[in-house]
Amino acid sequence: MSAVFAGAPVADNWSRSIPGGAGPADLQLSAIPALGSFDDLRGQVNGVDPAGYRVAVYIYVNGLWYPKPSFASPTVYPRIDGAWTADVTTGPMDENATRIAAYLLPVSYRVPQISAGIAGIPAQIEFNAVARREISR
């Protein structure tokens, strides 16, 4: 460290690069569990600094939407490389979800807490999301 304190230039090893390069926010689903599977949902955040965002995931089971991984923890945080994982089978019958929706939200946004399945995903989540993906299976 004496060279640093003496003013010698040092390579930048503390800055992060933006996954996928700076650009519009993008949310990808890279591994979608098959219907009936207990595998995790995996995805990738691109175009933004992952440290400033989190992913809200909802599954649709028997006519209702449920936040995942749980009611108490309705979001997951992407890693520094933008990759993220969500356990979407934390409740009974979750492996039978016919739809999965994911939303990329700023960390400053407070996701509404719910305590039971809901008929529709709150409109404010859609409004505050910078990117979203939805699949049917």
Which pLDDT tens digit goes with each residue over 37-96? 999 999 999 999 999 999 999 999 999 999 999 999 999 999 999 999 999 999 999 999
- With helix as H, strand as E and coil as C, how does 21-84 read? CCCCCEEEEEECCCCCCCCCEEEEEECCCHHHEEEEEEEEECCEEEEECCCCCCEECCCCCCEE
Task: Please determine, for residue 20, whether its predicted confidence score (pLDDT) is greater than 90.
Answer: no
Domains of the chain: 22-136 (2.60.40)
Task: Please determine, for residue 15, whether its predicted confidence score (pLDDT) is greater than 70.
Answer: no
Q: What is the pTM of this model?
A: 0.88
